[in-house]
Amino acid sequence: MRLPAFPVWLCLLLPATALAAESSPAIISVQLENDLFAASGDRYYTHGFELSILREEEPPAWLDGLAAWLPFYQRGEQLNLVSYTVGHKIFTPDDLQATALIPADRPYAGYLYANMAILSQYGSSGVVSYGNTFDVTVGLVGPSALGEAVHIGSHKLFDSENAQGWDNQLHDELVFGVSYSRIWSLVLPAGETLELGVAPNIGFSLGTAYTYGAGGMMFRLGTHLRRDLAPPNIPPGFPGVGYFRAYAQPSWYFFLGFESRVVARDIFLDGNTYRDSHSVDKEHLVGDMQFGFVYLFDDMRISYSNMLRTKEFDTQQVNTHYGAINISLLLH
């Protein structure tokens, strides 16, 4: 039996409601991740989509209160932002033509979720600035998350072979989680017009969908790097931020990042939390390498990147490889 449809529509309407409720400047960000962009085959993490709206405003009292429970979370005096996000992810095994369950390959799964985050830049000293983020996520895993409908619909649209094993997907389950990241940003001159940026980060996620600890480093080379921190990403991954500053001249940069995660829980590999389902033995140490290019002009930011991810479960045949496109627009 599927969960009621109203949580799905609630998730889809949340950003629109947040945008309509205020008339202050906002940044709208659309993130699309797909293995099609990397020509790596339709497998593993095959699709991700996020729509986010970010504002410079005071966070809701309940979210601010939750963040205050963390002894290491710091409110910023320089910049405080609130982000509202809805997203959708699809996971599939390597073999899409098998109708029977494939015990040694990852489960089919769809994931529909809503997220609210607070982001604070709480310090700056010369060439270094630092901040942190805290977010809460609530979502659906299983048939009610519409993974099968989106996956098969997109294959029909592009006249591709349909996946045959969706009857074996994870069961319906409500999931939740909280995440925290701390980010430092160092920007140094690297020539007459170029700048070099170095941004280490640490963080964790705790919940029924994901539980892990993470740490990484992002390198950037380009112009006017203080306009933003890094392009957004769909977690788990680098803690990119949707925020960027308007500037009179275009700017650009190349980036290269590395992150490692120690994974305790991944529902898309471990299977359902409260009932038996398909699962595989996951790898507890996972590494990412991401590289790409960002261009900013007027009130818009466009980025393209590729992500290489090490094997996430014991019997995985090849590393995960997908591409990502982000378009962010500043509305005054």
Considering only the top CATH level, what class is 6-331?
mainly beta
- How many helical (H) and strand (E) elements, i.e. helices and strands, does the chain have? 4, 12
> Average pLDDT of 184-207?
95
pLDDT at 6: 39
Neighbours of 175 (CB within 10 A): 20
Residues β-bridged to residue 84: 53, 116
Q: Around 12, how many Cα atoms within 13 Å sit in the side-chain half-sphere?
A: 7
Q: Around 137, how many Cα atoms within 13 Å sit in the side-chain half-sphere?
A: 27
Rounded CA separation 214/201 (Å): 8
pTM confidence score:
0.91
Confidence of residue 22 (pLDDT cuts 50, 70, 90): low
φ, ψ at 207 (rounded to 5°): 175, -175
Residues 172-195 have pLDDT tens digits of 999 999 999 999 999 999 988 999
pLDDT at 7: 47
pLDDT at 21: 47
